[in-house]
Structure 1
């Protein structure tokens, strides 16, 4: 599982900082999460292939999470894309993008599918044989979702020595990997645990975009491996965070602690501060495993 932060600052793009966008690589799938201005430039800088992105998740319809989407969609066409592209986001995103494509006469060279979200309850919005994605309803000034990415459990690992000792035919190997027991010719049942090893533990990643401190998300993200949680302000501006429905670094850490997350990544910093190190210092007073997101930084888990 690899996370590349393309941008993680609040409000407006600046010379050296970019608004929210990131790429999650999990089970050989690439998911683009939010698409602020400059996303496609950051994709190029980080050598991420446009053609590998087939699913884009937009948390909410505020510009610093969205204004790079139409440019990215258009560039895909200029590059001759033919593969389907799926966009998941709040209701209205289809109208917003299609109007821009219509007025600029820039219809895509590929099929563009919109999956508009309205539910205020967590729901599955993507699933294939290896990955499942659920929404994390957040509390912000407009309808907003975070996203929980979970690997599906993999196959069990064959205990080669054991199956040879029991003289089990190779025809049963896939059944064993799928968790099944094996019955020998004499009727003896060999339990799967004697023939295989546990699969590599599944990993999970939770992206919690703009939100006020919101404990209702804790049951959804409980025991998550990696939590990215917005930390727009330091605790000294807690009143401003509450007014604008954002979080402080300390509050992000409190959510990580209560959810029993293994790792916390901070981001969406207000540009009022001279540096981001104080965010880590503040969060670590509550939760020990804190990483600072920053533009162009990648994390492998």
Structure 2
């Protein structure tokens, strides 16, 4: 599971920082999460192939999270993209993107599908044989969702010594990986647990930006491998959190602790601060496993 941070700062783009956008690679699937201004430039800087992006998830309709989307869609058109593109986001995203495309006389040569979200309850928005993705309802000034990306159950690991000992043909290996028992020619049934080892636990990634402090998300993200949680402010500006409906680094760490996640990645920093290291220091007073997002930074889990 690989996470590439394209941008992770709040509000406005600057020459040295970019608004929210990131790429998650999980089970050989690539997902673009949010698409602030400058996203396609950051994709190029980080050498990410545009053609691998087939699903884009937009958390909410504040500009620093989706103003780069219409430009990216247009660039896909100029690159003669043929594969379908799916966009998941709040109701209204289809209208705002299609209006810009229509008024600029820019029409895609590929199929563009919008999956508009309205539910205030967690729901499955994408599922295939490898990955399932659910919304995480967040508490912000406009309708907002985070997203939980989960691997489906992994294949079991073959116990080759045991398999060879029973002289089982290779054509049955796939069945064994998926948990099947094997019946030998003499009628004996070999239980799967004698032929395999348990798989590694499935990994999951929870993306939560933007939101006020909200413990109602804890049951949804509980035991996640990695949590990305907004941390717009330091404790000295906690008085701004309710008005703006954002969080401090310490509040993000509190959510991570209550949800028993393995790793917390902080991001969505206010640009009022000269250094992001203080975010880590404040969060570590509550939760020990802290990583700091920054533009261009990659994490492998």
TM-score bracket for the superposition, by shorter chain length:
over 0.9
C-alpha separation in 1, matches of 2:189 and 2:241: 61
User: What is aligned with 1:216?
Assistant: 216
SS at match of 1:11: coil
Cα distance, 1:183 vs structure 2: 2.5
CA distance in 1, matches of 2:152, 2:289: 25
Unaligned runs of 5+ in 1: none
**2: CA distance, partners of 1:246 / 1:285:** 19
SS of structure 1 residue aligned to 2:54: strand
Q: Which residue pairs with 1:105 in the alignment? A: 105
Aligned length: 301
Counterpart CA distance in 2 for 1:116 and 1:97 is: 12
Looking at structure 1, the residues matched to 9 and 269 of structure 2 have their Cα atoms a distance apart, in angstroms, of 5
1:36-185 matches, cutoff 5 A: 36-185=36-185
Q: Secondary structure at the match of 1:106?
A: coil
Question: Could you tell me which residue of structure 1 aligns to residue 31 of structure 2?
Answer: 31
Question: Secondary structure at 2:167's aligned position in 1?
Answer: coil
RMSD (Å), alpha carbons: 0.9
1:231 aligns with 2:220: no
Distance 1:4 1:269 in 2: 17
Q: Secondary structure at the match of 1:110?
A: coil
Which ranges of structure 2 fall in alignment gaps of 5 or more residues? Answer: none
In the alignment, is residue 298 of structure 1 matched against residue 279 of structure 2?
no
Displacement after TM superposition at 1:109 (Å): 1.4
CA distance in 1, matches of 2:275, 2:167: 64
Partner SS for 1:142: coil
Measured in 1, the distance between the counterparts of 2:38 and 2:21 equals 9
1:241 matched to 2:241: yes
The alpha carbon displacement at 1:21 in A equals 0.3
Distance in 1 between residues matched to 2:170 and 2:29, nearest whole Å: 31
CA distance in structure 2 between the partners assigned to 1:66 and 1:283 by the alignment: 28
Secondary structure at 1:264's aligned position in 2?
strand
How far residue 168 of structure 1 moved from its aligned partner, in angstroms, is 2.3
Task: Give me the whole-angstrom Cα distance separating, in 2, the residues matched to 1:91 and 1:102.
Answer: 19
For 2:172 and 2:69, the matched residues in 1 are separated by 48
Q: What TM-score does the superposition give when structure 1 sets the normalisation length?
A: 0.98
Secondary structure of 2:136's counterpart equals strand
Q: TM-score when scaled to structure 2?
A: 0.98
Q: Please report how far the alpha carbon of residue 273 of structure 1 lies from its aligned counterpart in structure 2 after TM superposition.
A: 1.0
The CA deviation at 1:43 is 0.5
Distance apart, 1:167 and its partner CA: 2.2
Deviation for aligned residue 1:44: 0.6
Q: What secondary structure sits across from 2:269 in the alignment?
A: coil
C-alpha distance in 2, partners of 1:41/1:175?
Answer: 45
Alpha-carbon displacement from aligned partner over 1:252-276 (angstroms, at most 9, x marks no partner) = 0000000001000000000111111
